[in-house]
């Protein structure tokens, strides 16, 4: 098959990581694959060449315009793909136009966000050949809010980008990283890995940390970058949490932080399926998270973590403290979470699900 993956920009977000992982996997499986981005560069631009994978940008220089895709239709026609996979909100806005220009191809919309969908995105949902939702909750949203027929939707979860490695973790590396950030061996490390955007709501985690008892041995580690970072730093300073909160910045591979942490915490208001919680569970971290679309599909409430209502930092803090009081409970929750994540979100299984769907769709008659 010839596969075209469309993404606006390879920033450091979860959807962008999925785009790179999937495009690379399709190419390694022997399919001629092109990853087209609107803007050039980005934190996730692959550093090494991969056979059968071409990466092309539509803008000759970075205009910082996520929506501008000059020559997209012309480039797509020249490639003549069998499958077009639209990733991210801006790319999905072009799905309908791509399907019209490529009637022989199966253009696939994707829903991987809890944000409000632009008009062009909503229109494309009705025009493309098929839709991939990354959670059952996202599928339900498409059916109830956008009146999409269920037979046009397939649920394929996010693939584990940063799953555990085969090599046994080195305890010395874990302790060294904790010590580097001023954590004592008995401290509990609460971790969140996510872009700093208002909807990711790291500010609620900071408010939660302020409510932990003064003598409770814990640090909150926040890894990522983004527009809301500075306001989070300011709030942490206002609450005098300098020693309790560590801003780790963006890291191309967050696995060392998963191995060093004790508990995954998440308060995002808008999601479809959280990459962070899946990865944290795969590394044996129990989760304490606020409810949002798809969050209850990333772990098992009561068995590998705890699902809480939004906007209750006091309950969040109490739950964190109660979970951490019993290290045997932490280990038990983590082991259950690891088994669940590896069983339901392995990269191999999700890649195969995409390719199986592509083969099925490419055998269908073209769109009228």
pLDDT tens, 26-79? 999 999 999 999 999 999 998 788 999 999 999 999 999 999 999 999 999 999
Share above pLDDT 90 across residues of the chain, in percent, rounded to a whole number: 92
- pTM here is 0.93
pLDDT of 193 strictly over 80: yes
Q: What is the pLDDT of residue 190?
A: 98
Region of poorest pLDDT, from 100-104, 212-216, 288-292: 212-216
Q: Sorting pLDDT into bands at 50, 70 and 90, what band is 366?
A: low
Domains 2-159+347-362 and 171-344 in one fold = yes
Task: Kindly report, residue by residue over 209-266, the tens digit of the pLDDT.
Answer: 999 998 899 999 999 999 999 999 999 999 999 889 999 999 999 999 999 999 999 9
pLDDT of 368 strictly over 70: no
Q: What is the pLDDT of residue 335?
A: 96
Please tell me the distance from the alpha carbon of residue 367 to that of residue 102, in angstroms, as a whole number.
9
pLDDT of 367 strictly over 70: no
Task: Kindly report, residue by residue over 120-169, the tens digit of the pLDDT.
Answer: 999 999 999 999 999 999 999 999 999 999 999 999 999 999 998 766 67
What is the biggest distance separating any 2 CA atoms in the chain, rounded to whole angstroms? Answer: 67
pLDDT of 364 strictly over 80: no
Q: What is the pLDDT of residue 171?
A: 82
CATH fit for domain 171-344, picks 3.40.50.10800, 3.40.50.300, 1.10.287.180, 3.40.50.2000: 3.40.50.2000
Q: What residue ranges do the domains of the chain occupy?
A: 2-159+347-362, 171-344
* Cβ-proximal residues to 348 (8 Å cutoff; 6+ apart), any chain: none
Q: What is the pLDDT of residue 165?
A: 77
Of 137, 21, 40, the C-alpha closest to 85 is 21
CATH fit for domain 2-159+347-362, picks 3.40.50.2000, 3.30.70.1150, 3.40.50.300, 3.40.50.720: 3.40.50.2000
Angle CA(4)–CA(6)–CA(9) in degrees, nearest 5?
145
Task: Kindly report, residue by residue over 293-308, the tens digit of the pLDDT.
Answer: 999 999 999 999 999 9
Please tell me the distance from the alpha carbon of residue 33 to that of residue 25, in angstroms, as a whole number.
9
């Amino acid at each position: 098959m010839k596969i075209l993956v469309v993404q606006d920009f390879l920033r450091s977000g979860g959807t962008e990581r999925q785009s790179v992982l999937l495009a690379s996997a399709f190419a390694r499986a022997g399919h001629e694959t092109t990853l087209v981005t609107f803007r050039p560069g980005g934190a996730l631009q692959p550093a090494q060449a991969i056979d059968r994978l071409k990466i092309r940008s539509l803008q000759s220089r970075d205009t910082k315009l996520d929506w501008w895709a000059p020559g997209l239709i012309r480039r797509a026609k020249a490639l003549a793909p069998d499958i077009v996979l639209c990733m991210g909100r801006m790319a999905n806005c072009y799905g309908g136009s791509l399907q019209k220009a490529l009637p022989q191809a199966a253009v696939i919309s994707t829903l991987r966000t809890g944000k409000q969908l632009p008009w062009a995105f909503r229109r494309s949902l009705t025009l493309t050949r098929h839709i991939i939702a990354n959670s059952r909750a996202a599928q339900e949203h498409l059916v109830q809010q956008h009146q999409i027929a269920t037979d046009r939707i397939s649920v394929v979860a996010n693939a584990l980008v940063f799953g555990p490695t085969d090599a046994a973790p080195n305890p010395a590396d874990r302790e060294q990283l904790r010590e580097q950030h001023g954590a004592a061996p008995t401290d509990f490390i609460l971790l969140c890995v996510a872009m700093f955007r208002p909807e990711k709501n790291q500010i609620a985690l900071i408010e939660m940390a302020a409510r932990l008892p003064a003598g409770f041995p814990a640090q909150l580690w926040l890894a990522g970058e983004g527009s809301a970072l500075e306001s989070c730093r300011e709030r942490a300073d206002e609450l005098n949490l300098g020693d309790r909160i560590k801003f780790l910045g963006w890291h191309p591979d967050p696995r060392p932080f998963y191995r060093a942490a004790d508990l995954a915490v998440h308060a995002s208001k808008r999601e479809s399926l959280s990459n962070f919680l899946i990865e944290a569970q795969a590394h044996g971290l129990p989760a304490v998270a606020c409810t949002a679309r798809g969050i209850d599909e990333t772990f098992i409430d009561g068995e590998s973590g705890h699902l809480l209502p939004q906007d209750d930092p006091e309950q969040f803090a109490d739950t964190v403290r109660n979970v951490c009081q019993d290290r045997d409970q932490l280990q038990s929750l983590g082991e259950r979470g690891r088994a669940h994540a590896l069983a339901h979100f392995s990269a191999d299984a999700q890649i195969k699900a995409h390719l199986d769907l592509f083969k099925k769709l490419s055998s269908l008659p073209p769109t009228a």
